[in-house]
Amino acid sequence: MDLSAGHVWVMISAALVLLMTPGLAFFYGGMTRAKAALNMMMMSFISIGLVAVVWVLWGFSMSGGDSVAQLFGNPFAAFGMEGLLNTEDLIGAGYGATFAIITVALISGAIADRAKFSSWAIFVPVWVTLVYCPLAFMVWGGGLLSAEGAVGSWAGEAIDFAGGTVVHINAGVAGLILALILGKRKGFGMDPAQRPHNIPFVMLGAALLWFGWFGFNGGAAGSAEEAGLIWINTMAAPAAAMLGWLVTERIRDGRPTSLGAASGVVSGLVAITPACANVSPVGAISLGLVAGVLAALAVGLKYRLGYDDSLDVVGVHLVAGIVGTLALGFIALPVDGAGGGLFYGGGFAQLWAQVVAAVVSVLYCAILTVGIGLAIHKSVGFRVSEEEEVTGVDLTQHAESAYEFGGLGTGGAFVPHPATDRSAHNGSLEGIKA
């Protein structure tokens, strides 16, 4: 078998996407308290270890094997990838693994500072098996939501080029469910020590995520022309989203923040993910602006509604994922002069397909994640004790600390400038004053 340029590109893209999970570890690790930074980073790294093994054994087969009721692939069709040896299909299988890894790692930000590491290690393989792999099959593997599937043939084929439903809506819903199951952190919304402890880590993580995202979106490009469009859109949308987020902060809070810049970039990347190959560059800029503004506003909902999504998985991934998925109903480019979104004269067909896909994804993920989360929480416990939370999950879960100076290794906390406090997003300074 000759190694073509296409094969090499997919392998490079897979490496870029795999780098996104350590990048996420920095992004999330910097947003937590100092005494929880290592635990947060470990939740990403253990996701790599667990999902990679699951993917080789049965995950890949479940996401693309022989259909079982259009819900998932037969897990034994290519168990251990034995049937893929000496074929080029292994390259695509490796690329798919990196998507599963980053998706489950995204969820961890919603339960930062208070989850048992052992329970997280149980949750990861179970959730990937029962939620991620089936949804990936439904959307990309010829299942329920694909053009050939029962829902797809009825509602129309939804567009999800790189994971608006499978990755971001999926992770956002799961993060919300786990945040509700575990409950609020002690001092939620009032304790200044819950502010991000290392903004440079957040900025570094955002940069690594943006870098890897070019492989995330571009790895499946079918032609040089499509790859070029994806590359430009993956640059333009997060850039516009960053500007939208910063302007929103400036108007609402009186100052733009570096945390807002990093979060805006990620929200734009999330929004362009399902649409990267199907909108124009101007459409990508418009989508990014809308996603940046709405995500900036959405992160404050947790203070008003009372759920503790520690690192804004819901505001950034669920909200921006829905925005990007539904936007295709309006701005999707026509294919061969036909179809497209409402703004291109395509009618309501594409919008309807996008709405149905988003709703089915939300419901499927919510129902399954409730069952998985509650089963773990009731059987072995998902949350650390109050004493362990106050001491810090780095010490209590790993007997390590990220910092050994200024008392930080024994549960102290570095308090950054109030401008980086997410509690400002509730429209007041109560969290800072407290």
pLDDT digits (tens, 9 = 90+) for 235-289: 999 999 999 999 999 999 999 999 999 999 999 999 999 999 999 999 999 999 9
Q: How far is CA 23 from CA 188, 224, 269, 278, in A?
A: 26, 27, 14, 27
Count of C-beta atoms within a 10 Å radius of residue 399: 7
Residues of the chain with pLDDT > 90, as a percent, come to 85
Return the structure tokens found at 222: 């079918």
Query: What per-residue confidence (pLDDT) applies to 406?
Result: 54
Per-position pLDDT tens, the chain of length 434:
567 889 999 999 999 999 999 999 999 999 999 999 999 999 999 999 999 999 999 999 999 989 999 999 999 999 999 888 888 999 999 999 999 999 999 999 999 999 999 999 999 999 999 999 999 999 999 999 999 899 999 999 999 999 999 999 999 999 999 999 999 998 887 777 678 999 999 999 999 999 999 999 999 999 999 999 999 999 999 999 999 999 999 999 999 999 999 999 999 999 999 999 999 999 999 999 999 999 999 999 999 999 999 999 999 999 999 999 999 999 999 988 778 999 999 999 999 999 999 999 999 999 999 999 999 999 999 999 999 999 999 999 999 999 986 544 444 444 444 444 454 434 332 332 22
Compute the radius of gyration of the chain from its Cα atoms: 21
Instruction: Give a yes or no: residue 399 inside a domain.
Output: no
Q: At what angle are helices 319-331 and 258-272 packed, to 10 degrees?
A: 50
Instruction: Give a yes or no: residue 415 inside a domain.
Output: no
Structurally, how many domains does the chain consist of?
A: 1
Q: What number of residues does the chain have?
A: 434
Q: Tell me how far apart the alpha carbons of residues 354 and 367 are, in angstroms, rounded to a whole number.
A: 20
Instruction: Give a yes or no: residue 264 inside a domain.
Output: yes
Query: What per-residue confidence (pLDDT) applies to 427?
Result: 36
**pTM of the entire structure?**
0.92
Contacts of 401 (CB under 8 A, 6+ apart): 35, 38, 392, 394, 395, 408, 409, 410
Q: Tell me how far apart the alpha carbons of residues 36 and 65 are, in angstroms, rounded to a whole number.
A: 39
Measured at the CA of 311, the angle between CA 310 and CA 314, to 5 degrees, comes to: 95
CA 290 to chain CA centroid, Å, is 18
Instruction: Give a yes or no: residue 434 inside a domain.
Output: no
| Residue 115, phi then psi, degrees to nearest 5 | -100, 145
Pseudo-torsion of CA 239, 216, 20, 15, nearest 10°? Answer: -130
Query: How would you class 289 by CB atoms within 10 Å of its CB: exposed for 0-12, middle for 13-18, buried for 19 or more?
Result: buried
Instruction: Give a yes or no: residue 284 inside a domain.
Output: yes
Instruction: Give a yes or no: residue 396 inside a domain.
Output: no
Query: What per-residue confidence (pLDDT) applies to 420?
Result: 43
Q: SS3 helix, strand, coil % of the chain, rounded to 5?
A: 70, 0, 25
Domain that holds residue 311: 5-387
Beta bridge partners of 68: 72
We report the CATH number of the domain holding residue 33 as: 1.10.3430.10
Return the structure tokens found at 77: 């069709």
Instruction: Give a yes or no: residue 68 inside a domain.
Output: yes
Instruction: Give a yes or no: residue 413 inside a domain.
Output: no
- Answer for the pair 35, 392: CB distance below 8 angstroms, yes or no: yes
Query: What per-residue confidence (pLDDT) applies to 277?
Result: 97
